[in-house]
Amino acid sequence: MNRARLAAVLRKELIQLLRDRIMLFLILYIYTADVLMCTFALSFDVRNLPTAVADFDRSADSQRLIDGFGASGYFSIEHWTTREAELGGLLNRGEALAALVIPPGFSRRQAAGEAAAVQLLLDGSNANTASVAQGYAQRIAQDYALERAQRAAGQPARLAVEHRPRIWYNSELKYAYFMLLSMIAVAGMLVGVITAAAGIVREKESGTIEQMLVTPVRPAEMIAAKMLPTLLVGLTALFPSLLIAAWVGVPLRGSLALFFLFSAVFLVSSMGIGILVATFAETLQQALLMSFFALFPILFLSGTLVPVESMPWVLQYLAELSPLTHYMEALLGIFLKGVGLEVLWHPLAIIALISATLLALSIWRLRRRIG
């Protein structure tokens, strides 16, 4: 590469990017508003699940059980009824997502030493919420049962096994931490692909690419010059996201430098996708459509919404090919787990390999167009 030539192309690209208000706005929007909104709004946490209660027993025992549900924080008891049919309506209309039914004789049966059953009706139309809620309810009921059993035996509380659960990395199980990191990763992907693809296709559309190709500038120089400004802006745009992360309270247990190293390598790989797309597209519309549909599955199937391991094995292998999967793994590692290169060298190597392959392909495509 010729340094003077590279410098000239680089300068031009930098000016163009910095002057492109729409693109800069988009980048900033993705890294701030988008991150913020998704972090605050989107969660799989089950808290204050709208719950209906049908207490046909109306005893101190049934009240104690209901209190157990209400005090847990997971269920918010919003409807009381003693009519079975009304429960159905509440669930059908989605006004209650869970319903607790305590049958008559609940208290009497327990006093008589018989087993008493209570029923929990869950709206399964969101299976995840339902299964989490089910787990919570099970625990509340068991706690109640244990306490009741001990009370009946007249002994002080004594358990055979004490369970001490500990959640690593995210002890309060805040989905926001995950969501925030996930949105940073998604943002990097979007920005890298869109700016790189738009940058090249725009030149194709306006015909300036021909003008550039008749100069002695080499394809490799052109691509390098296209990538560096975006890389710079993309890395700079991480700072507002980091501020949001700090504000939300996402712990940074690992090295900040490693985070930037990963982000840089990852941005190169996402720009590689954009450039490769651009070598196939003739118009901006085509490029956007292509990157859009390449992007959409990648964005959400790379462990950013749901864990890769719960996907079918075919998709798990495909996800391995996505740089986003590895970047996401690295982000969780750096921020939540506090691990370093000794663990993360593997994803780093894979992202680098993907980047190199994509760039080599792009340069080859550009060369072929000329020669």
Query: What is the DSSP-derived secondary structure letter of residue 105?
Result: T
Smaller CB separation from another protein, 116 or 268? 116
Query: Smallest gap, in angstroms, from Cβ of residue 86 to another protein?
Result: 13
Taking Cα atoms as reference points, which of 291, 240, 231 lies closest to residue 17? 231
Nearer to another protein, 302 or 362 (CB): 302
Work out whether 83 is an interface residue with another protein (CB under 8 A): no
Which H or E run contains 102? Answer: strand 98-102
Residue (211 or 357) nearer to another protein, CB: 211
Strand 75-80 versus strand 49-55 pairing type: parallel
Restricted to residues 192-221, the positions that interact with another protein (CB under 8 A) are 198, 206-208, 210-217
Residues numbered 223 to 242 that lie near another protein (CB under 8 A) are none
- As a dihedral over the C-alpha atoms of residue 344, residue 345, residue 350, residue 354, rounded to 10 degrees, the angle is 100
Taking the mean position of all CA atoms in its chain, how far away is CA 255?
21
Q: Could you tell me which stretch among 149-157, 238-246, 258-266, 355-363 binds another protein (CB under 8 A)?
A: 149-157
Nearer to another protein, 48 or 357 (CB): 48
C-alpha angle 149/150/152, rounded to 5°? 65
Q: CA separation (Å) from 273 to 41, 64, 243, 284, 306?
A: 30, 59, 28, 15, 23
Least Å distance between CB 284 and another protein? 6
Q: Where are the alpha helices (DSSP H) in 207-332?
A: 208-213, 219-236, 238-248, 256-280, 284-300, 313-321, 323-331
Q: How far is the CB of 155 from another protein (least distance, A)?
A: 9
Of 125 and 356, the one with the shorter C-beta distance to another protein is 125
Q: Which of 24, 28, 38, 242 binds another protein (CB under 8 A)?
A: 38
Distance CA 298, CA 270 (A): 11
Window 240-269: residues binding another protein (CB under 8 A): none
Q: Which of 285, 317, 321, 353 lies at the binding interface for another protein (CB under 8 A)?
A: 285
Give the shortest CB-333-to-another protein separation in angstroms: 7
Nearer to another protein, 198 or 354 (CB): 198
Distance of CA 36 to the CA centre of its chain: 13
Q: Which is nearer to another protein, 249 or 297 (CB)?
A: 297
Give the footprint of another protein on residues 109-148 (CB under 8 A).
Answer: 110, 113-132, 134-139, 141-142, 144-146, 148
Instruction: Scan for tokens 């490799």, then name that residue.
Output: 220
* Token pair listed for 157: 């509380």
Cα–Cα dist 354/322, whole Å: 8
Q: Which positions from 292 through 351 interact with another protein, judged by CB under 8 A?
A: 292-293, 296-297, 300-301, 305-307, 309-312, 315, 329, 332-333, 336-337, 339, 343
